[in-house]
Amino acid sequence: MQLIDPNVFSEGGCYLRGEWCSYHSAMELKKAGIRFRRGKSRDIKFNSFHCSALLTLAPITIDDSTKSELLNLVAYEACPDTPHDFGITSYLCFMDSLIDHAEDVKELRSKGLLNFLGSDQEVADLFNEIAKDLVPNPHAFVGVKVKIERKIWIAEWKNTHFNTPWTIFAAIFVIGLEVIGTGLSGCCYEIYVGAVMREEARKNAEGSA
């Protein structure tokens, strides 16, 4: 059972790049304009657009044996003879960051990312319990984490500074004045140049006479 492709890891971590990555639940990401999509591969991908973003995740089927299988995989990763990328551990910690409560599970389930027979709360408890004492690879999914953090920051900034129609109108009005001012400056300059050229032409005509 392989949940994540080890090639998705990248060099550097949030701290090494001067970035600090906090954790946000699925509902918090949704509030910031980040949508979820079911992926066809095991990669975790993040695509940012002007007003929204898309987080692509591999779907997971959860049944009665899932917990024991995941714990066995985590234990296997801790063995001395295995590669120390901690891919499963890091993946579980990432999913745990998305899942705090039942409503987070409901959001992911509605996008086809989680398939299970139990309740939303049971799935939330499963991830919270499994990942409680796990330590992820700090280099795992760093590109995705940084992009999510930036998108969250932009969304919070917009909500702070453009939280009412009046602030949006004021911003548009100021930009409009700048555009109009630039246009008027250009027109005045053209009028001035035209006047100077006409005056020079008049003087040349008088001199010729």
Residue of 191, 60, 193 whose CA lies nearest to 73: 60
pLDDT tens column, 26-55: 999 999 999 999 998 888 999 998 888 999
pLDDT, mean over the chain: 80
pLDDT tens column, 71-105: 999 999 988 887 778 899 999 999 999 999 999 99
**pLDDT reported for residue 190:** 63
**Which one-letter amino acid corresponds to residue 113?**
L
Instruction: Tell me if 131 sits within 8 A of 92, measured CB to CB.
Output: yes
